[in-house]
Amino acid sequence: MLSWSRTFVGIHCKKVGRPPHVARTSAASKSRWSSTRSASELPGKVPVQGLDLQENFSKSLHAAQSTAKGPKTLNWSRQPRNILIVRKPKDDRTRSAFLEVTSWLRKQYPDVNIVVEQSVADEVPHMMDLCVMRPKEDLSGVIDFVITLGGDGTVLHTSQLFPKRAPPIIPFSLGTLGFLLPFGFVNFAEALKQVIEGSVPLLQRMRLDCVIRRDDGTIAQIEGRELEFQALNDIVLHRGRYPHMITTECSVDGEFLTGAIADGLIVSTPTGSTAYSLSAGGSLVHPSVQSILLTPICPRSLSFRPALLPPDVRVNLRLSKNSRATAEVSVDGRDVYLLGIAEHVEIKMSDYPLYTIARTVNGRDWVRDINHTLKWNQGFVNTHR
Minimum mean pLDDT among 2-16, 62-76, 354-368: which range? 2-16
Q: How confident is the model at residue 137 (pLDDT cuts 50, 70, 90)?
A: low
Active site residue 152: yes
**Is pLDDT above 60 for 127?**
yes
- How many other β-carbons are positioned within 10 Å of the β-carbon of residue 331? 24
**Is pLDDT above 80 for 206?**
yes
Domain 208-349 CATH class label: mainly beta
**Is pLDDT above 60 for 56?**
no
For residues 86, 44, 203 and 116, what is the CA-based torsion angle, rounded to 10 degrees?
0
Q: What confidence score (pLDDT) does residue 242 get? A: 86
For residues 207 and 1, which has the higher predicted lDDT (pLDDT)? 207
* Whole-structure pTM value: 0.82
What is the CATH code for 9-58+70-205?
Answer: 3.40.50.10330
What does the pLDDT average to over 316-326?
90
| Largest interatomic CA distance in the chain | 72
What does the pLDDT average to over 50-55?
53
Q: What confidence score (pLDDT) does residue 376 get? A: 81
Q: What confidence score (pLDDT) does residue 262 get? A: 95
- Per annotation, catalytic residue among 91, 129, 144, 152: 152
Name the segment(s) of the chain with CATH classification 3.40.50.10330. 9-58+70-205
Name the segment(s) of the chain with CATH classification 2.60.200.30. 208-349
Minimum mean pLDDT among 97-101, 216-220, 291-295, 306-310: which range? 216-220
